[in-house]
Structure 1
Amino acid sequence: MKKILLIGSGGAGKSTLAKQLGKKLSIPVYHLDTIFWKPGWTPSDQEMFRSEVEELMAEDEWIIDGNFRSTMDSRLQQCDTVIFLHYPRWTCLRRAVKRRFMYHGKSRPDMTEGCEEKIDIDFLKWIYFYNDRHAPEILEKLRQSNIENVIILKSPSKTAKWLSSVSSS
């Protein structure tokens, strides 16, 4: 595991797991939200965003967390490991709401400074329908890929168990 893609619904804990795994493996971690969003929730130019992601993927080792369809295929082609947090919708919704209260009035550590934590109906709908609308496409891409290592984790407890089994060597 040298080039790791971490994907899943909002609220699943991608950024938290990315940081934990990065520390354990001594691999740099990149959060796509931090790259894409500029202060005040201003989106990046798509070409600049793709270019920045391509530069990161040229490195020898990385953990990149985030979904972002616009770069998904190229990230799937470059990674040697995919970790898909495929959690139940209620787990993700609960965690997203909890996160909103934890970071009320401030930016999360894995988010661009100046992007205060927020939650809106569109984000809640995206999480609610993620397993119905987005996960099937991702699972199909993973089935068709030649990725060496695909890890699908279906609950926070299974994720914790898996992380404890990961060796730093």
Structure 2
Amino acid sequence: MQRVAIVGPGGAGKSTFAQALGERTDLPVVHLDRFFWRPGWVETPRDEWRQRQSELFAGDRWIADGNYGGTFDDRFALADTVIIVARPRLACVVSAVGRSARFHGKAVQAAGCPERFQMVFYRWIWNYDRDSRPRLDIALARHDHLDVVELSTRMSMTHFLESISVR
């Protein structure tokens, strides 16, 4: 486990888990939101985004924190492990709303992108299993070299971290 992609819906705890896994394994963590979003919540154009990811993940050791289904194949081709953080959708929405409330107006995900309440984001989380998970499963099927771990509760996330040898 040297090149890890962590995926799942917003609010599932991917970033917190990625940070804890990075501390436990001494793998550098790349929070994709920080590179994808430009100030004012402007998306990076697709071709530029794909190029940026190839630069970010050129090394032999990393943790990629973030979903970005349009580039699953790019990351999965380089990864050796995919960890799916798949907590229940209500828990994810509640967590995302709580984060928006706690950090409202502060740029915590990406520079120049202040936290805000966005129904479209909460709707994406709510519909993740229906709309986004199938794309993930199709991408995973194309990359049979991957070790895939699915964690569906905070407790399973904690147990997984505890099972990892400290580096």
TM surpasses 0.5: yes
2:114 aligned to which of 77, 98, 116: 116
Q: Deviations over 1:38-96 (max 9, x none)?
A: 11112212222111100122111110011112211111111000000111110100100
Alignment RMSD (CA, Å): 1.4
Match of 2:70 in 1: 70
Give yes or no for contact 2:2–2:80 (8 Å, CA) kept in 1.
Answer: yes
Q: Following superposition, which runs of at least 4 residues in structure 1 exceed 2 angstroms of deviation?
A: 139-145
Aligned runs of 1:10-159 on 2, under 5 Å? 10-108=10-108, 111-159=109-157
Give 1:149 shift. Answer: 1.4
Measured in 1, the distance between the counterparts of 2:84 and 2:154 equals: 12
Percent of pairs identical after alignment?
37
Corresponding position: 1:165 with 2:163: yes
CA–CA distance in structure 1, aligned partners of residues 165 and 121 of structure 2: 35
Give unmatched runs, 5+ long, in structure 2: none
Q: TM-score, normalised by structure 2?
A: 0.93
TM, length-normalised to structure 1:
0.92
Q: CA deviation at 1:144?
A: 4.3
Does the CA contact (< 8 Å) of 1:8 and 1:86 recur in 2? Answer: yes
- Residue 27 of structure 2 aligns to a residue in which SS? coil
**Residue identity in the other structure for 1:97:** V
